[in-house]
Amino acid sequence: MTRHPEWEKRLNAVVAKHQAIEGAWGTSDCWVMTMDAVEAVRGERILPHLAGYASEAAGYKLFRKHGYRETVEEALVQALGAPIGTLLAQRGDVGVIEREGAVSCGVYVSTGFAVRTIYGRVERIGRKRVEITTGYDLQILPITAVSRAYKV
């Protein structure tokens, strides 16, 4: 698949859009942002049947309905094929990270790996696990945080 002639400009617009709006399931979460990024790069939407949910539970139910039982990564594998080396991925490619037992997807950008979080941030203070809600944000992580990458 070739990239859209203006993929860089379009990808930057997707990241800016998701930075500017509050996170919400089905509107601006890790999956929606990643699918918007893929569409920006390719010029076409992949997996359009995995849209239209309004909560975390509804999202998992929709994925299960379409045969994806474990994580969002199953859908990425079906649509994009086998993973590539995480350090070989380029801007516009996508990947997954694992945090606190959950798998989230995101996109490689010029400054690292962009991933949308809905959960806030979790820290440990002594033995206590404390969730710190700092708003719903788009985080730029180092590419070394990526578990597996997929060529777009």
pLDDT in tens, 10-60: 999 999 999 998 888 999 999 999 999 999 999 999 999 999 999 989 999
Interatomic CA distance for residues 36 and 30, integer angstroms: 10
Distances, alpha carbon 150 to alpha carbons 4, 11, 53, 84, in Å? 17, 16, 24, 6
Angular region, 52: left φ>0, alpha ψ -120 to 50, beta rest: left
* Full-model pTM: 0.87
Length of the chain in terms of residues written:
152
The CATH number covering residue 130 comes to: 3.90.1720
The per-residue pLDDT for range 77-91, each reduced to its tens digit, is 999 999 999 999 999
87: containing domain: 7-150
2, part of any domain? no
Torsion of CA 138, 106, 114, 25, to 10 degrees: -10
Q: Is 1 within a domain?
A: no
